[in-house]
Structure 1
Amino acid sequence: MGITRRSLTPELYEALHDGLAIPAHPLALTPERKLDERRQRALTRYYIASGAGGIAVAVHSTQFEIREPETGLLEPVLRLAAEEVERAAPERPFLKVAGICGGMEQAVQEARLAAGLGYDAGLLSMGGLQDWSEEQLLERTRRVADVIPVFGFYLQPSVGGRILSFDFWRSFAEIEGVIAIKMAPFNRYQSLDVARAVMESSRCGEIALYTGNDDNIVADLLTTYRFIVDGKPVEKKIVGGLLGHWAAWTSKAVQLLGEIKKIRSDSSFAASWLTLGIQVTDSNAALFDPAHHFHGCIPGIHEALRRQGLLEGLWCLNPEERLSPGQLEEISRVCRDYPHLVDDDFVAAHLEEWLR
Structure 2
Amino acid sequence: MSTARALAETKLRALHEGLVIPAHPLALNEERKLDERRQRALARYYVESGAGGVAVGVHSTQFEIRKPEVGLFEPVLRLAAEEIDKANPDRPFWKVAGICGPADQSVAEATLAADLGYDAGLLSMGGLPGWTEEQHLERAREVASVIPIIGFYLQPSVGGRLFSYAFWRAFAEIPNVIAIKMAPFNRYQTIDVARAVIESSRRDEIALYTGNDDNIVNDLFTIYRFPVDGQPVEKRIVGGLLGHWAVWTHKAVELLEEIKEARKDERIAQEWLTRNIEVTDSNAAFFDPANGFHGCIPGIHEVLRRQGLLEGRWCLNPAEELSPGQMEEIDRVYRSYPHLNDDDFVAARLQRWLEG
* TM-score normalised by the chain length of structure 1: 0.99
Name whichever of 197-206 and 2-11 sits farther off. Answer: 2-11
Q: Could you say which residue in structure 2 is the equivalent of 1:66?
A: 65
Taking only aligned residues, the RMSD between alpha carbons, in angstroms, comes to 0.5
Moved more, 69-78 or 4-13: 4-13
Residue number in structure 2 paired with 1:12: 11
Equivalent residue number for residue 334 of structure 1: 333
What is the percent sequence identity of the aligned residues? Answer: 74
CA positional deviation for 1:3: 3.2
Does residue 1:171 correspond to 2:184, yes or no?
no
2:248 aligns to what? 249
Alignment deviations for residues 288-322 of structure 1 (CA, whole Å, 9 cap, x no partner): 00000000000000000000000000000011110
Supply the distance in 2 between the matched residues of 1:278 and 1:347 (Cα, whole angstroms): 25
Q: Which residue of 2 is the match for residue 22 of structure 1?
A: 21
State the partner residue of 1:271. Answer: 270
The aligned amino acid for 1:184 is A
For 1:187, the equivalent position in structure 2 comes to 186
Distance 1:267 1:11 in 2: 28
Q: Which amino acid aligns with 2:351?
A: E
Measured in 2, the distance between the counterparts of 1:210 and 1:225 equals 13
State how 1:139-158 maps to structure 2 within 5 Å: 139-158=138-157
Residue 31 of structure 1 corresponds to 30
Secondary structure (helix, strand or coil) at the match of 1:355 reads helix
Task: Show the counterpart of 1:108.
Answer: 107
Could you tell me how far apart the structure 2 residues matched to 1:125 and 1:221 are? 22
Determine the structure 1 residue equivalent to 2:348.
Answer: 349
Q: Secondary structure at the match of 2:335?
A: helix
Asked whether 1:237 is paired with 2:236, we answer yes
Name the aligned partner's letter for residue 152 of structure 1.
G
SS in structure 2 at match of 1:22: strand
| Alpha-carbon displacement from aligned partner over 1:244-280 (angstroms, at most 9, x marks no partner) | 0000000000000000011113221210011001000
Cα distance in 1 between the residues matched to 2:2 and 2:295: 38
| Distance in 1, Cα, partners of 2:64 & 2:129 | 19
Where does residue 310 of structure 2 map in the other structure?
A: 311
> Is 1:76 equivalent to 2:67 in the alignment?
no
Partner amino acid, structure 2, of 1:334: V
**1:217 equivalent in structure 2:** 216
| Contact map agreement 1:3 1:115 (CA 8 A) in 2 | no
Name the CA distance, whole Å, in 2 between partners of 1:192 and 1:181.
12
The runs of 5 or more residues in structure 1 that have no matched partner are none
- 1:107-135 C-alpha deviation (Å, 9 max, x unpaired): 00000000000000000000101211000
CA contact (8 A) 1:24 1:246 kept: yes
Give 1:229 shift.
1.1
SS at match of 1:204: coil
Q: Which amino acid aligns with 2:34?
A: L
How far does residue 104 in structure 1 lie from its aligned partner after superposition? 0.6
Alignment gaps of 5+ in structure 2: none
Task: Quote the residue 2:292 is aligned against.
Answer: 293
Matched, 1:322 2:321: yes
Q: Check the 8 A contact 1:308/1:344 in 2, yes or no.
A: yes
TM-score (norm 2): 0.99
Corresponding residue for 1:259? 258
Deviation at 1:9, TM superposition (A): 0.6
Partner SS state of residue 98, structure 1: strand
Query: What CA distance in whole angstroms lies between the structure 1 residues aligned with 2:112 and 2:334?
Result: 38
> Hey, what's the Cα distance between the residues in 2 that align with 1:303 and 1:95?
26
Name the counterpart of 2:281. 282
3-state SS of paired residue (2:96): strand
Q: Residues 287 and 297 of structure 1 are in contact (CA less than 8 Å); yes or no, is this contact kept in structure 2?
A: yes
Q: State the alpha-carbon separation in 2 of the partners of residues 52 and 13 from structure 1.
A: 15
Q: Which portions of structure 1, spanning 4 or more consecutive aligned residues, are displaced by more than 3 angstroms?
A: none
Amino acid at match of 2:187: R
SS at match of 1:179: strand
The amino acid across from 1:305 in the alignment is L
Q: Distance in 2 between matches of 1:267 and 1:223?
A: 12
The amino acid of 2:301's aligned partner reads: H
**Cα contact 1:169–1:193 (8 A) shared by 2:** yes
Q: 2:6, 2:295 → 1: CA distance?
A: 37
Alignment-mate amino acid for residue 349 of structure 1 = A
Equivalent residue for 1:132?
131
**Corresponding residue for 1:302?**
301
Amino acid at match of 1:76: P
Instruction: Give the whole-Å Cα distance in 1 for the aligned partners of 2:95 and 2:209.
Output: 15
Q: Distance in 2 between matches of 1:152 and 1:229?
A: 23
Q: Distance in 1 between matches of 2:277 and 2:131?
A: 37
